Structure 1
Amino acid sequence: MTDTTEQLAPHAVERLQGLRSQGSHEGIFTSDLSVNEFVMVRKANFEPLGLVVGSCIYHMGIQYGNWNQNMEMDVLSQAMYQARELAMSRMEQEATLLQADGIVGVRLEVKRMEWDQDILEFMAIGTAIAHRSGASGFKGVGGKPFTSDLSGQDFWMLLQAGYRPMEMVMGSCVYHVAHQGFLQSMGNVGRNTEMEQFTQAMYDARELAMERMQHEAQEAQADGITGVQLHEGSHNWKPHIIEFFAIGTAVKAMDNADALVDALRPQLVIPVND
């Protein structure tokens, strides 16, 4: 088995060695959980171990779209997917070093680097947690720490309902939306009319992103996906090039799921935040 620390930056290893690990209360914990989330994670019988981070600075390849054709930009789609996967895998390696059961509250961020318009930084960040009594059965796919974008409150409720998170699943599609010809543009002047070419492009691109997300959940043998979000952004690419990104948390029922769901009762929740 490959030593996890070999793939992490030396300063990352030093930082993690000063944090808690599963079954040990030596060191401190760090997290980006709010106070409410921290309480609910503890109520679920888990405890935070440390903030885990993965980063990848990636140079994007070149691909040109046909001016009047709707088409996926395969080179860019693959680049966005691979870069996020690298960032996620490094975050998981940090969680593994802490002997965590999983990671909650994961955020994926993308930003363009100022020194080169073709270079983007991808960052994954979340809080590694472990079961307080060391109970097994909460790891994700392949025995790795599970990943999820669930809040502390959602994580507690998911367990109460008899489900557990497996992994964050995602799908990406970078798409070139065709331009309209001059005559077609002139024909629309002053009229209410659907832009069918644009509608079809946006529809196809979102469907491709969601289909890829669903495929990841099927590969993880999950029962479903919760908290799905659809994002779109141009990342300062040329006009008419847009990324559609679908992300959610794949979940799986535990053995006692039906009994736990039947025992749940609706509760009045009064938010205390402003």
Structure 2
Amino acid sequence: MTQVTGLSGNEIFCLAKKNMRPGEIVVGNSVNSMGFFGSIGAGVGNILGGEIAQITSVIHDGRAHAFSRMVREAIQHDADGVAGVTSELRSLRGKTEFLFVGSAVHVPGNTKALFTSAGDAQELYCHMDAGYQPLQHVFGNVAYSMGIGGNILGSLKTMVRGEIREFSDIFNVTRHVALERLVKQAKASGANSVVGIRTTIEKWMGVHEMLMTGTAAFNSDLPQWASLNPVTSDMTGEELWSMTSLGFAPVKLLMSTSIYSLGLIGGFLATVKSIKKGEISDLTTLIHDARVNAVDRLKREASEIGADEVIGVKTYIAEIGNGLVEFMAIGTAVKKISGMTVKTSALPVQAIIRDRDTWIDGEFGVSLDRQSA
């Protein structure tokens, strides 16, 4: 019977270079409800602020069930692995569907346990060529709220210009909780690294959920301490391969958030100045201070863990209401380690070229992309 795979031509080429071939699309889902008691628990957590454990648990369990079903379907297809695993969260008339989709991979003569990879087959090629053998798609999540109490305290402090440490602490703690849960899951699979970490933050049931996904992997060239404390990286597959070829290994994914307020007086002055053409110095200074504060935290943490550099630093800034601005910095701390090397001298272009979507219009993609190549 004809095979149907979600892997592209470039991905199939990359698999062939590693003596693997594509298999069927595999799917796992779970439709859940918070339930009456869960909603009460979530409401209490919302008042107190911080993590809403009830919601975190429901979302995690829903994803775990859906993921297990996808794996079972892959086993039914005699797969040796699943590549390009993606997860979605969909609302269906007040209920939530947790969905996992991937493509089965076959490895002739394989005797190892089935692996799952959060990266697509192109990224999988880069990971394997850099020595990171995939074990399991892993994820860590946390649902959180600043809470009514936090909002009251923050509202009072927004009258004064500067960082709102209570809010900064909530955001920093919750982001690191998600990372810690991701690492814990990786350790349970016998991994000494988590590569290709991707972070998303979205609203669900009136709170925010932070989700981190990645591929738990094992690299025999990493130091022994990595087995006890797996390294973490949000570098792309190409970046990881390039840094490995230079003798570097990731140490830890670093994150830092600063929540700043312009203050009541500063906000009024900025509004008045915006009427005239020119620089709004109050806002310039505020954003500069927030940026410096967040980046300084990255530097301090990198120094504490003995990293040589923090690379691929990405910065994000957003208004979060009540005159508050969130500034976030995220990057991977790396260290030069003897013995780190790649298997081939250069990546094939098929591992680098990103595939274009060809269905682009309408809710379900109802017209073809006719742009010239």
TM range (shorter): 0.7 to 0.9
The alignment of Structure 1 onto Structure 2 pairs a total of residues equal to: 233
Q: Deviations over 1:23-68 (max 9, x none)?
A: xxxx222111122112111222111120000010011131213566
- Name 1:135's counterpart in structure 2: 110
Report the residue type matching 2:208 in the other structure.
I
Q: Contact 1:160–1:260 (CA<8 Å) still a contact in 2?
A: no
- Name 1:23's counterpart in structure 2: none
Match of 1:250 among 216, 225, 242: 216
* Paired residues for 1:54-65 under 5 Å: 54-60=28-34, 61-62=38-39, 63=41, 64-65=43-44
Answer 1 or 2: higher relative contact order, Cα 8 Å, separation at least 6.
Answer: 1
Q: Contact 2:45–2:52 (CA<8 Å) still a contact in 1?
A: no
* Paired residues for 1:167-182 under 5 Å: 167-179=136-148, 180=150
Q: Distance in 2 between matches of 1:170 and 1:28?
A: 33
Q: Contact 1:164–1:254 (CA<8 Å) still a contact in 2?
A: no
How much does 1:221 deviate? 1.0
Report the residue type matching 2:82 in the other structure.
I
* Paired residues for 1:1-274 under 5 Å: 27-60=1-34, 61-62=38-39, 63=41, 64-65=43-44, 69-113=48-92, 115-116=93-94, 119-131=95-107, 133-137=108-112, 139=113, 145-179=114-148, 180=150, 185=155, 188-189=158-159, 192-235=161-204, 237-238=205-206, 241-253=207-219, 261=341, 263-267=343-347, 269=349, 271=353
Unaligned stretches of 5+ in structure 2? Answer: 222-337, 356-372
Distance change in 2, residues 1:185/1:91 (3 Å): same
Q: Secondary structure of the equivalent of 2:31?
A: strand
Q: Distance in 2 between matches of 1:184 and 1:135?
A: 57
Report the residue type matching 2:195 in the other structure.
T
Report the residue type matching 1:69 in the other structure.
L
Q: Secondary structure of the equivalent of 2:48?
A: coil
Q: Contact 1:102–1:129 (CA<8 Å) still a contact in 2?
A: yes
- Name 1:21's counterpart in structure 2: none
The percentage of aligned residue pairs carrying the same residue is 26
Report the residue type matching 1:234 in the other structure.
K
Report the residue type matching 2:71 in the other structure.
E
Report the residue type matching 2:109 in the other structure.
G
Q: Deviations over 1:200-239 (max 9, x none)?
A: 111111111111110011111101000111211112x22x
How much does 1:77 deviate? 0.8
Distance change in 2, residues 1:41/1:245 (3 Å): same
How much does 1:175 deviate? 1.2
Greater alpha carbon shift after TM alignment, 59-68 vs 103-112: 59-68
Q: Distance in 2 between matches of 1:272 and 1:229?
A: 17
Q: Distance in 1 between matches of 2:65 and 2:56?
A: 15
Q: Secondary structure of the equivalent of 1:204?
A: helix
Report the residue type matching 1:128 in the other structure.
A
The TM-score normalised by the length of structure 1 is 0.76
Q: Deviations over 1:152-200 (max 9, x none)?
A: 11222222233311001111111121345657525524x5322222211
Distance change in 2, residues 1:165/1:196 (3 Å): same
Distance change in 2, residues 1:173/1:96 (3 Å): same
Distance change in 2, residues 1:200/1:215 (3 Å): same
Report the residue type matching 2:7 in the other structure.
L
Q: Contact 1:65–1:176 (CA<8 Å) still a contact in 2?
A: no
Distance change in 2, residues 1:260/1:128 (3 Å): farther
Q: Secondary structure of the equivalent of 2:163?
A: coil
Q: Secondary structure of the equivalent of 2:86?
A: strand
Q: Contact 1:222–1:251 (CA<8 Å) still a contact in 2?
A: yes
